Structure 1
Amino acid sequence: MCEDSTMVSPSGAVVEVLDSTTDGKKYITSEELQKHNKPSDLWISIQGKVYNVTEWSKIHPGGDIPLLNLAGQDVTDAFIAFHPGSAWQHLQKLFTGYHLKDYQVSDISKDYRKLASEFSKAGMFDKKGHGVIYSLCFVSLLLSACVYGVLYSTSVTIHMLSGALLGLAWMQIAYLGHDAGHYQMMSTRGWNKFAGIFIGNCITGISIAWWKWTHNAHHIACNSLDYDPDLQHLPMLAVSSKLFQSITSVFYGRKLTFDSLARFFISYQHYTYYPIMCVARVNLYLQTILLLCSKRRIPDRAYNIIGTLVFWTWFPVLVSCLPNWPERVAFVLVSFCVTGIQHVQFTLNHFAADVYVGPPKGNDWFEKQTSGTIDISCSSYMDWFFGGLQFQLEHHLFPRLPRCHLRSISPIVRELCKKHNLPYTSLSFYDANVTTLKTLRTAALQARDLANGAPQNLVWEAFNTHG
């Protein structure tokens, strides 16, 4: 038997509390919890216990975006995915004293949490293997060969080959930076942070702070058109006609305008896709500079700026060692084009998957990851080429799991998806490219069709809409 009462939260909001006389606990409903979804009044629930993370969001190591995107919800599955066991001890100081009255756990969440617990007990999150050492040696060899070819050869062919080796090195470094960003690479948080800045900012020129900012949002809101920045590429690319409604990007805080210029580019995106990927690196440099110069709170801003300046010192010096401007331009373009393969890899994992509009929900974590990701099937000897991210669903479900374990857990995840009648999409590299191009072509034809009036477009939507 419960008696209703009210109380005032620290932000001044009135909270309806249900005082249980049987167990002595205080309860609120999910409906009441949902009201606390603003930066100034931010509550979440983990395993039915309600926490006030309003102030914590300002210093949260993963940034405020994940907390804001899941505000007012039970976030147990997401919390398990992103945090080690040691994080649980820090929750108590944020506990409001209230529990979620209607807290329930779905069957798929029970299975997911059981899996995560088994992996943890087996020590899989801590066993990183020797892949990092092999990758570092491989990257060092590539960079050394590149520098040697530029400095000690007069052959144009060798210079272009050196540019290709630099691009390949950047690809492998990006995978290492990804591992460091997820705290998979090194044994401690501090060393992972150092590795991220060194190999990210210093060697590639792409800020690890920018990567974390966007990547954490991507993981939380996988394939949400208005919450996931990895799908927000107007005016150049659009994976769904839903973007033609000029929806507002919650991540960037601005409207994704679909105007005549965007319609023109989108109409031909299935032709321009690969050329865009070849120079996509330029956009990442620009995004890094814009973030580091912004007024946003950026962890380790000074270190990120110094690391970026290191890159913009050694890279121009290396390029200047080439004998003439045509070779310098060609060298840069070759390195960018080779790295463009990786940009294609990243988009294959999500562009052709299902999309949706709206915020992510904490109670369908597993479902959203399965519908929004595509694995790339390949032989084990090609794992180095994909950096483990060919197991995209496995990585999204267990982002802290070192890449050396992803292949071994793939059959387990596949069976879990089959058990709960959820999609497990795994395509060959070729088929993934074809499917992505079909998705882009469908949106391109829909963009062209918009100029012919709404009725015709609605028919097209009915038969061809994606996501």
Structure 2
Amino acid sequence: MAQQRKSRVFTRNEIEALIAAGRSIVIVRGKVLKVDAWLPYHPGGDKAIRHMVGRDATDEVEQFHSAETLKFTERYQIGRIEGLWTNFVPPIQGGKFRTQEELDKIPDEEENAISSSDDGSDNTASSATESPIFEPVEHDASSLRKRTATSRASSASSISSVELDDASYSPKMTVLDARTQKEIDVDKVAYPPLDPQTQANIVQKYRELQQRIEDEGLYNCNYTSYGIEGIRYSIALALFIYLLRSSWYITSAFPLGFLWHQLSFLVHDASHMGITHDFFIDSTIAMFTASYLGGLSAGWWKSNHNVHHIVTNSPEHDPDIEHMPFFAISHRFFQNLFSTYYERAMTYDAFAKFMILYQNYTYYPIMLFGRFNLYRLGWAHLWFGLGPKKGIAWWFRWFEIVGQVVFWTWYGYGVVYKTIPGGWNRFWFVLISHAVTAPLHVQITLSHFAMSTADLGVTESFPQKMLRTTMDVDCPQWLDFFHGGLQFQAIHHLYPRIPRHNLRRTQKLVQDFCNEVDIPYALYGFVDGNKVVIGKLRDVGRQAAIFAECQRSIMEGAHSH
């Protein structure tokens, strides 16, 4: 009976009707999965799944889960599909679905016409007359991304020579929408076409590369490298303790901050199951390191980071770029966007308007305090019980709450209060130990702030979207320890479970893949990457100033009449 149920072939209309009825339907390898019952149990949070409803989530699901977990998903299979699946926009992203009753009322001819045109390749407003108050999108390829020698040679000329016909834009479109459309048009020139055949070919080559990576053993963790990491951790810890006991209180903050900086990479590795590939072992390593040694929450990180990997650089959906009122990397944040992750509007109020104007100047100072924000987010996650309350991850919250008690006992009470004398010594010790971790926050934002935030629609493949929204940082191999694998962020987004010490070896394979499918591979030096990020922040700040002036002119004109 169960096998007969799994073999049932669902039509597109039937799946749409199920989603309209509130069911969470995901397609994986042609299998139709109804995952409603799994949502409260998912260790990575329910939102990561909700962004896949109505979509073929094969690549996302397979890259984040082990073979054992993939086999586990079969229990949620209710049928299968035939042929190439065209994605819906998930309900969490604003997708609208028709009930079975509504679908039954549509004539066959009309439904066929709708289905044939519903490819989602252009899900934005079609066009607008460009207003002179906004400066045109920069079309110079060198300002968009620096490519390796192996990237497609024609991209630079094609972007720099693109001409967007203002006459094609509708006068009804707002100036913000017009700029959004232009950014989409630039990306469409720079990247492969969004038609199903082209994107299917990219996916096929991507999966072939996955097999090659497996065959070359790049998923196997190099534990010798972690032995070297352990020596580095031990030296930093010993130096911290020695300086603290020698009454070099302020100086001792530097090795402690460096230790936290390095341990963050270990948490990142373990949270992606990139060390032992065992869920319980790697999760325990991540939570112990994050909470007991660093006062952070790996449970919060998993919930946040999994969504980030799926909807990378989406202003409405990616929590890793939602830093209002302090930063905006897209003009779209001027529109009081609603965050589906935080479930609140990101208000573009007076304070935000002021901060965005100067964000290219405040970027590095704010990064110095990034760790304090991680405390806040972790506490909220644990206090409000935002993680899974059932299933294999039910114990995460309680394990991490104990970790918070342990951390603030040894750090807050034992070190800061009991060991360090004087208020100013304590103040500078806390400030410096946290500020030393700033390169981590710069590294995280560096990989995405400079890249595209445009939405190219539901036909864009997972690998193309990851490479379009993520950049790598070029550095000498001896500096890999400082970047902790995050310098290979684009590669990591394509294959998140590859151990970080194997990412450099994987880079050449990914570059070859990019050449084969004609996708630009973004690679900057660390200094150049920072320049591009600051330039992006400056540009958005300038657009904010122009937009504010436009609003003032409109208001003054209205009052004059």
Q: What is the TM-score of this pair, normalised by structure 2?
A: 0.73
Aligned-partner Cα distance in 2 for 1:286–1:50: 39
Written as runs of structure 1 = structure 2, the 5 A alignment for 1:296-307 is: 296-298=386-388, 299=393, 300-307=396-403
Matched residue, 1:181: 271
Aligned-partner Cα distance in 1 for 2:347–2:408: 32
- Residue 36 of structure 1 and its aligned partner are, at CA, apart by 4.5
- Residue 87 of structure 1 and its aligned partner are, at CA, apart by 2.7
Which amino acid counterpart does residue 200 of structure 1 have in structure 2? Answer: A
Paired positions, count: 430
- Residue 357 of structure 1 and its aligned partner are, at CA, apart by 5.2
Matched residue, 1:71: 53
Report whether the alignment pairs 1:341 with 2:439.
yes
Aligned-partner Cα distance in 1 for 2:9–2:237: 59
Which amino acid counterpart does residue 430 of structure 1 have in structure 2? Answer: V
327, 331, 335: which one aligns with 1:237: 327
- Residue 117 of structure 1 and its aligned partner are, at CA, apart by 1.9
Moved more, 95-104 or 289-298: 95-104
Q: Specify every segment of 5 or more residues in structure 2 that has no aligned partner in the other structure, as ranges.
A: 86-195, 555-561
Q: Is the 8 A contact 1:30 1:102 kept in 2?
A: no
Which amino acid counterpart does residue 111 of structure 1 have in structure 2? Answer: K
- Residue 451 of structure 1 and its aligned partner are, at CA, apart by 2.0
SS of the counterpart of 1:97? Answer: strand
- Residue 414 of structure 1 and its aligned partner are, at CA, apart by 1.2
Aligned-partner Cα distance in 2 for 1:134–1:31: 56
Deviations 1:284-325 (A, max 9, x none): 111111111114344421101001111111111212212211
Deviations 1:108-148 (A, max 9, x none): 11111111122223432233342222212211221221122
SS of the counterpart of 1:91? Answer: helix
Matched residue, 2:28: 46
Matched residue, 2:543: 446
Q: Is the 8 A contact 1:348 1:436 kept in 2?
A: yes
- Residue 422 of structure 1 and its aligned partner are, at CA, apart by 1.3
Deviations 1:163-183 (A, max 9, x none): 111111111000000001001
Aligned-partner Cα distance in 2 for 1:297–1:85: 24
SS of the counterpart of 2:208? Answer: helix
SS of the counterpart of 1:371? Answer: helix
Matched residue, 2:42: 60
Q: Is the 8 A contact 1:175 1:387 kept in 2?
A: yes
Q: Is the 8 A contact 2:221 2:274 kept in 1?
A: no
SS of the counterpart of 1:234? Answer: coil
Report whether the alignment pairs 1:98 with 2:188.
no
Aligned-partner Cα distance in 2 for 1:67–1:187: 21
Q: Is the 8 A contact 1:74 1:363 kept in 2?
A: no
229, 237, 261: which one aligns with 1:143: 237
Q: Is the 8 A contact 1:235 1:265 kept in 2?
A: yes
Q: Specify every segment of 5 or more residues in structure 1 that has no aligned partner in the other structure, as ranges.
A: 1-18, 458-467
Matched residue, 1:463: none
Q: Is the 8 A contact 1:50 1:100 kept in 2?
A: no
329, 350, 374: which one aligns with 1:260: 350
- Residue 161 of structure 1 and its aligned partner are, at CA, apart by 2.6
Written as runs of structure 1 = structure 2, the 5 A alignment for 1:305-384 is: 305-316=401-412, 317-320=414-417, 321-356=419-454, 361=458, 364-384=461-481
SS of the counterpart of 1:55? Answer: helix
Matched residue, 1:424: 521
Deviations 1:217-261 (A, max 9, x none): 100111111110000000011111111101100111111110111
Aligned-partner Cα distance in 2 for 1:254–1:269: 22
Q: What is the TM-score of this pair, normalised by structure 1?
A: 0.87
Aligned-partner Cα distance in 2 for 1:248–1:171: 32
121, 125, 132: which one aligns with 2:219: 125
- Residue 60 of structure 1 and its aligned partner are, at CA, apart by 1.7
Q: Is the 8 A contact 2:385 2:397 kept in 1?
A: no
Matched residue, 1:462: none
Which amino acid counterpart does residue 74 of structure 1 have in structure 2? Answer: D
Distance 1:179 1:267, change over 3 A: same
Aligned-partner Cα distance in 1 for 2:306–2:459: 15
Matched residue, 1:212: 302
SS of the counterpart of 1:336? Answer: helix
Distance 1:265 1:97, change over 3 A: same
Report whether the alignment pairs 1:111 with 2:205.
yes
- Which one has the bigger strand percentage? 1
Matched residue, 2:483: 386
Which amino acid counterpart does residue 529 of structure 2 have in structure 1? Answer: A
Distance 1:415 1:207, change over 3 A: same
The higher-RCO structure (CA 8 Å, 6+ apart) is 2
